[in-house]
Amino acid sequence: MILEIISATGLGTYLYRYVKKNKKTLRKARARKPKKERVIPFTGNARHQHLKEFSAGNLDKKNPQQKLTDRNMVVSMASLSLAIVGKLFYFPIGLLSLPGILYITHFAIMQAFKGLFKEKKLTVDFLSATMKVLLLINGYLVFASFSVFMFSLNRKLLSKITDNSKKNIIDVFKQQPSTVWVVHDSIEREIPFEELKAGDRVMVGAGSTIPVDGEIIEGSASVDQHILTGEFQPVEKTTGDDVFALTLVLSGKIYIHARETGQQTTAAQIAAILNNTISTKTDVQLWSREISDKSVLPTFAISAVSLPFIGPIGALGVLNSHFKYRASIASAIGVMNYLDMASHNGILVKDGHTFELLEKVDTVVFDKTGTLTEAQPRVEKIHLCGEYSEQEVLRYAAAAESKQSHPIAQAIIQQATEQHLELPEIEEAAYKLGYGLTVGIEGHIVRVGSVRFLEQEDIHISDDIRTAQTYCQEQGSPMIAVAIDDSAVGTIELAAAIRPGTKELIHELTHECGIESTYIISGDHDAPTRQLADELGINHYFAEVLPEQKAELIKQLQAEGKSVCYVGDGINDSIALQEADVSISIRGASTVATDAAQIVLMGKTLNQLPYLFGMGQQFNGHMKKVVATVVTPCVVSVGGSILFFNLGLIQSFIFPQIGLLAGIAVAMRPVLGHCKRGDKKRLAEK
């Protein structure tokens, strides 16, 4: 009766035509040459497009793929409900589930043929599609509807992982400046970054990021280029000098003739190299899916061999006992739990597979400037050469810098604050900005800037200052000269400020997290790099390294058999980040670095690293338990189908569901433990 009704509905004709039609389509697709992958360079427009796609207004809007998975869930649930009602109460109601089953089945068939002809292998989708067709042909509507429900649930959960990652990444993408100042007809006006073009006259003041590559046509400034070069020492720039996009103006004000914008800039060219680097990290499947695919052919073989002995129903039970999407569902829940736990601890992990890679890491390589050290330096020493004391030199310098926001100014102001110095008021009429600052303070003319700036102001430079200048240059440390009236009275030597807790963190990584060796790679001078390595207990370092050499050094370490994690924050780190086995950046770093990194530390410190590596060490073992918990009842079900073939089909549905529920329970254990620890912590705080 059931077979007659199915035949009357045209199911057999529909399936035959569908398979025939898609087979021809797939053959044509194979015959066509694959299109070259489109590379999107790092440009203002590309960044704008990311923001547009993931903007706050769009986060609540579902894309077509999300809408499709939601619709399929509704259809599959409705079909399952109708099939169960029809089975229990009134048979014709069950027939209403057929359209929904056929609708979802056609997606399974599409996936099956994609794997068969494009990937040239039998995938779990092929087994799933075969089961759905066989169940329908034999009239098992409840089982068929349950099968399409599991198919839809698997797609929904995998889509949710991708969606959650996109929503987290939006916070990183928001860091790119959106507007710039240009001069047209002697009028300064603010325009969107995307409208900037070559030939524009761009104005950049202290504390602002240079948006273009070009030549200074007016003004002078001290520029921090470490994001490109890795060198901590700021560079003095004046008319005729070249400047580069994404470097920072520390002091001064410059007008730039824009030579390259957008994808033509040096920063964008580094990003283009990054985009063209072949990477397999982003398309690595969860290993549970790979296990599922590899077990498809053996399952078909067992079913075929046992067919003469246990009959069609028993053989069908063997096929249906395969764990199919259940391992993917349970592991997807496990991955989501780990991603959520990481995010709650201030860690953005873009790909669940990264947790698996973390366990293998035995070498951690740190970029120096901006990663191990703070963006803001600290005052190391004050060199005197006159009648003024250290406190007086610091007090006048801090007062002069009080209106500046760049890191060097803030370091001087912070040192004065820590010494509880009361800063005098600035006389506005005498405030001038150039290579350095000229201000009126308490009846004195105070000049703060480089030695070159004081020379231009006809200030005599003593031998003591020359000696201090030579020493600072050898150390690669910034130095600020201070003059009061017409005399140079001292210099302020600055040094990189180590991030708090970094030394303890390095010790924890090497003694508790299984990290065998640590390295520093820096574009800075040898002396400060060596000093930092000694202070932190890092035995290996590379100094004065060019950006392209960083990736080569990573390759060199990998060739020695090391699994490398690279931690960096600059554009000059992006290629090395892509080359490393695991890559980590810090929120607030260059957008190219945060795009390239697999992991972003959202707390802007390295303090989460031990927790992150701890998660990596637990992840693989935990996920294997999840998959084993799902697979074991399925293996038992295969044995039951062979020994008790009359119950084979029923148990082939019951046992795998027991495995799925048990697998989900195991997958939830870490997050439940995390919640309990959080509750205890909150109670302790109260």
On whether both 190 and 149 belong to a single domain, the answer is no
Where a domain ends, among 248, 276, 304? 276
Q: Residue 505 burial by CB count (10 A; 0-12/13-18/19+): exposed, middle or buried?
A: buried
Would residue 287 count as lying in a domain? Answer: no
> Residue 609: which residues within 8 A CB-CB, separation 6 or more?
505, 509, 513, 567, 584, 601
157, 176, 195 — which closes off a domain?
176
Of 441, 400, 443, which is closest to residue 251 (Cα–Cα)? 400
Q: State whether 272 and 362 are in the same domain.
A: no
Q: What angle do CA 475, 478, 484 make, to 5 degrees?
A: 125
Instruction: Give buried/exposed letters for 193-222 (b at 16+ CB in 10 A, else e).
Output: bbebeeebbbbbebebbbbbbbebeebbbb
CATH of the domain at 258: 2.70.150.10
Q: What are phi and psi of 238, to 5 degrees?
A: -140, -175
Would residue 288 count as lying in a domain?
no
Give the integer Cα–Cα distance in Å for 567 and 516. Answer: 16
- Is residue 470 located within the same domain as residue 523? no
What is the spatial distance between Cα 471 and Cα 464, in angstroms, rounded to a whole number?
A: 11
Residues 557 and 637 in one domain: no
pLDDT of residue 316: 76
Q: Which of 579, 607, 635 marks a domain boundary? A: 607
- Exposure string (b/e) for 74-88, b if CB count within 10 Å is 16 or more? ebbbbbbbbbbbbbe
Within a domain: residue 306? yes
The gap from C-alpha 252 to its chain's centroid, in whole angstroms, comes to 34
Q: Which H or E element spans position 594?
A: helix 591-596
What pLDDT was estimated at residue 680? 40
Domain that holds residue 267: 179-276
Q: List the Cα angle 331/600/565 in 5-degree steps.
A: 80
DSSP 8-state code for residue 373: B
Within-domain flag for 285: no
Degrees, nearest 5: CA angle 645-646-647: 90
Instruction: Spell 99-137 as b/e; 16+ CB within 10 A means b.
Output: ebbbebbebbbbbbbbbbeeeeebbbbbbbbbbbbbbbb
3-class SS of residue 285: coil
> Percent helix, strand, coil in the chain (nearest 5)?
55, 15, 25
One domain for residues 74 and 123? yes
CB 268 within 8 A of CB 262: yes
CB contact at 8 A, 427 and 439: yes
Does residue 449 share a domain with residue 320? no
- The sign of the torsion formed by the CA atoms of 500, 506, 512, 514 equals positive
Pair (574, 652) in one structural domain: no
Task: Give the model's pLDDT for residue 85.
Answer: 92
Tokens of 580: 């490393």
Nearest to 366 by CA among 509, 476, 495, 266: 509
CB crowding 274-299: b at 16 or more within 10 Å, else e = bbeeeeebeeeebbbbebbbebbeeb
Q: Are residues 63 and 184 in the same domain?
A: no
pLDDT of residue 519: 94
Residue 440 domain-assigned (yes or no): yes
Query: How many domains does the chain fold into?
Result: 5
Q: Is the dihedral of CA 337, 338, 343, 346 positive or negative?
A: positive
Domain presence at residue 588: yes
d(CA 13, CA 20) in angstroms, rounded, equals: 11
Residue environment code for 462-500, b if the CB has 16+ CB neighbours within 10 A, otherwise e: eeebeebbeebeebbbbbbbbbbeeebbbbbbbbbbebe
What's the confidence (pLDDT) of residue 412? 92
On whether the CB atoms of residues 66 and 74 are closer than 8 A, the answer is: no
β-pairing, 444-449 with 479-484?
A: antiparallel
**Cα–Cα distance for residue pair 113/27, rounded to 1 Å:** 10
pLDDT means per 10 residues, the chain with 686 residues, are: 34 37 42 36 36 40 74 90 90 89 86 79 79 83 85 74 48 53 85 83 84 88 71 77 82 86 61 42 46 76 80 76 74 78 80 83 87 83 89 92 82 92 77 71 89 87 89 82 91 86 88 90 83 88 84 92 89 82 80 76 82 87 84 78 61 77 81 48 40
| Residues 216 and 266 reside in one and the same domain | yes
- The set of residues, in sequence order, having a beta carbon less than 8 Å from that of 499 and lying 6+ positions away, is 372, 373, 374, 605, 606
> What is the domain-level CATH number for residue 531?
3.40.50.1000
**CATH label of the domain that carries residue 416:** 3.40.1110.10
Residues making up the chain, counted from first to last: 686
Whether residue 530 contacts residue 541, with contact meaning beta carbons closer than 8 Å, is answered with: yes
Neighbours of 235 (CB within 10 A): 16
The pTM (predicted TM-score) of the whole model is 0.62
Q: 112 and 8 in one domain?
A: yes
What pLDDT shows up at residue 6? 33
Q: What are the E-state strand segments in 458-516?
A: 479-484, 487-495
Is residue 286 domain-resident?
A: no
> Which is nearest to 394 in space by CA: 284, 494, 536, 535?
494
Same domain, 137 and 59: yes
d(CA 182, CA 258): 10
Same domain, 467 and 530: no
CB 541 within 8 A of CB 526: no
The span from the first CA to the last CA of the chain, in angstroms, equals 69
Strand extents, DSSP E, 139-241: 179-184, 187-192, 201-205, 213-224, 235-237
Is there a domain that residue 382 lies in? yes
